[in-house]
Amino acid sequence: MRATLFIAGRQLWHRKLLNGIAVLGVMLGVLTLIAITGIMRGFQTKFLDTILQISPHVVVFDKTLGDTTPIVDQLLGGPSATAIVRQTSTDRQQRIARPTETVRAMRALEGVAAVAPLVVGSAVASAGSKETPVELRGIDPEVQDVVTPLRSMVVDGQLGGLTGAVDGAMIGHQLADLLGVKVGDNLSCASALGDRVVLRVVAIFETGVAALDKGRIYVATRRAQTILGRGDAIDRIELRLVDPDHAPAVTAQLEALFHYDAESWQETNASMLGVFDQQNMITGLIIGAVLLVGGFGILSIQIMIVLEKRRDIALLKSVGYGSRDVLAIFLTEGAVIAVLGAALGAAAGHFVLAGMRLLKSASGMGYSKPSTFAIYERPIVYVLAFGFAVGVGLLASLVPAWRASRVEPVDVLRGT
Amino acid sequence: MTSAIAAAAAPAAALAAPSLEARALVRDLGDEVKTRILHGIDLAIAPGEFVSVTGPSGSGKSTLLYLLGALDRPTSGDVLIEGVSTVGLDDRARGALRGERLGFVFQFHFLLPEFTALENVIIPMLRRRDIPRADARARALAVLDQLGIGELGGRRPTQLSGGQQQRVSIARAIAHGPRILLADEPTGNLDSAAGEAVLGIFETLVRDRGMTIVMVTHEPSYARRAQREIRLRDGRIVEIATGAPATVTTR
């Protein structure tokens, strides 16, 4: 072992330039892996965190599945007389029946943290000469706040204003800018089926998601039903789960029990998650290719060194070193190059990520508000990068090391 | 028949158990067309004997030396090193045998360029678990001193003259204490003064340490200074001379 380390160490040092290039190759591979993973995963993680913060984990729509009887009707013994009496010609055919009982039943399910009924529709908001289409949401603010924490998004005014003032509205900050209104100002809201209602801005929110910040208005449930002409209908139920990863299973369970179409947050964002998958695959390919290039760097340089050192290998063997000793010497050299390159690459990757944290992302990457880059930096990434690089380095030096160990001293001495 | 001549021509020391012994040694080279390089060599070299091997190019001198040094495997026959048959040994065992019992000096010194002269001498001893590193260093320094190049231990091979490089390679061959030294044209790349110095070292090693030396050489004057001169032609021993040219026995 002492001979292996001594000889390998000196040979590495003697060819500083060549081996330095090999170290650089591995270093670049590891740097690329850590930097790209940090930036890509950072963005993805931030995106998902935002989604899970501002969106419900599961949404139940008013669209029924098949002709089967919902579980609430099964429990209560068919549609109640009151529901039939109150049905009018203006009611839509699609609505969630017995929302109070349905919400209560959903809240009792395992893994469900909170349930909020709401009414959602399209409307036009106007203030002065400006008007814009909006998505109007009728909510119970306190209940909805548990499902999608609205209070934390309020940047001006009070969420409680929705409860206190019948005509209160909470609007996105970009919408407020668009309409030129602030807290305390009035705006008008109307839809094709309902009444035009004058609302007073009681709160302004900011989610960081442009589509919501310039296109959504929250009002009390009753007010939304009036504007949208929905009577007392509830057409949507949103759920927050204890574990968001269980959303697909809970969604399936809800559909089976209540026979309403339900959608998990993964389905809602399937296209973006699909893009992430593709991004991760492409990133993996790029990183793998860069590391392989690093590995080929070691391979070619080591092969060159082995060819150049055939006489020295022959000498070592003639003075008693065996094939395993020679194999160990060249594998040690490959391992040292890989470990050194991986360590330097990890350090460089850390510095690059630290630098990225200080930079402002100008565009918000087209989705969220402009902010500093979100960086994903975990020990596991460093461990994986290090392990992968050392593995590639050892594999790359295996072929030249094996060739070195096969050198027959007598062939070299004879000059063949 | 050849072994009988060899035994008869050996000096009195050869009566002891041989240091090196070749038994019916045959070596063919070539993959498709085989060329017989050695034709059944029988040879016994006694402990403390200085033997030179001469012959024209292609006569099989170096091949014989590589076989005697367990660097090569015979097509048939056997080589015994201090009584140990090498024919059945695997590469690892042959390597260990070379590292413990033999020393090699080559025409081109084969010093490792990354290491100093002292480190070149130490390297063969590093793989020996029975020689501590401090001991290896002390031995290397002592041998370099004995060979008159103690002050050059810190220099790289490229900073040494040809003669000095060959002295370092001799130091490397003997520092670990082998009883047998095999030299393949050790003076072939040296001027006459440096060559003379190498011969002087070999004679001292035989006289003072009782080493067995087999030296392949093209230089008749050096060959004659050995106790026995084995002359090869076309892979066969054709003459064995003892002491001086006048005592040559012709087969």
Digit-coded pLDDT (tens) for A172-229 = 999 999 999 999 999 999 988 877 889 999 999 998 888 889 999 999 998 898 899 8
Which tens digits make up the pLDDT trace of A238-274? Answer: 999 999 999 999 999 999 898 899 999 999 888 888 9
- Whether A277 and A216 share a structural domain: no
In whole angstroms, how far apart are CA A399 and each of A12, A288, A306, A331, B215? 18, 20, 10, 9, 37
A202 plus A330 within the same structural domain: no
Which residue has better confidence, A68 or A76? A76
Q: Is some CB atom of chain B closer than 8 A to the CB atom of A222?
A: no
In the predicted structure, residue A73 carries a pLDDT above the cut 80: no
Decide if A57 is inside a domain.
no
The ipTM assigned to this model is: 0.84
* Whether residue A108 is found in the same domain as residue A252: yes
Q: Is A194 inside a domain boundary?
A: yes
At residue A373 the predicted structure's pLDDT band, cuts being 50, 70 and 90, is confident
Is the pTM here over 0.80, yes or no?
Answer: no
Residues contacting residue B115 through CB under 8 Å, at least 6 positions apart: A10, B123, B156
Last residue of a domain, one of A229, A258, A287: A258
On whether both A39 and A77 belong to a single domain, the answer is no
Tell me the percentage of chain A whose pLDDT exceeds 70. Answer: 89
Considering only A65-74, B29-38, B155-164, which range has the smallest mean pLDDT? Answer: A65-74
Q: Say whether A317 and B95 touch across the interface (CB within 8 A).
A: yes
| Residue position matching structure tokens 């011969």 | B199
In a shared domain, residues A125 and A217: yes
Give me the residues of A, 329-368, that contact B with CB < 8 A: none
The pLDDT score that the predictor gives to residue A356 is 85
Task: Kindly report which listed range (A40-44, A62-66, A177-181, A317-321) carries the lowest average pLDDT score.
Answer: A62-66
> A114 has which bridge partners?
A240
Say if residue A241 is in the same domain as residue A290.
no
User: Is A59 a member of any domain?
Assistant: no
Determine the structural domain holding residue A212 and report its residue range: 67-82+91-258
> Could you tell me if residue A62 is inside a domain?
no
A373 shares a domain with A304 = yes
Is A254 in the same domain as A276?
Answer: no
Of the candidates A3, A13, A319, the beta carbon closest to that of B98 is on A319
- The answer on pLDDT for A283 being more than 80 is yes
Record: contact B112-A320, CB cut-off 8 A = no
Cα–Cα distance for residue pair B64/B95, rounded to 1 Å: 18
Task: Report the domain count for chain A.
Answer: 2
Asked if residue A60 is part of any domain, the answer here is no
Task: Indicate the residue among A201, A230, A258 that finishes a domain.
Answer: A258
Helix ranges, B11-90 (H): 61-68
One domain for residues A294 and A337: yes
Identify the pLDDT of residue A66: 65
pLDDT of B3 > 60? The answer is no
Tell if the CB–CB gap between A409 and B126 is shorter than 8 Å. Answer: no
For residue range A14-43, list pLDDT tens digits in order: 888 988 998 998 898 899 889 988 888 888
Residue B1, pLDDT above cutoff 50: no
Interface test with B, best of A15, A412, A413 (most B CBs within 10 A): A413
Q: Is A416 an interface residue toward B (CB < 8 Å)?
A: no
Assess if residue A265 is contained within a domain.
no
Burial class (CB in 10 A: 0-12, 13-18, 19+), A125: buried
**Candidates B69, B71, B95; nearest CB to A322:** B95
- Given A258, A287, A308, which residue is the final one in a domain? A258
Position with higher pLDDT, B169 vs A294: B169
Question: What is residue B32's predicted lDDT score, i.e. its pLDDT?
Answer: 80
pLDDT exceeds cutoff 50 at B244: no
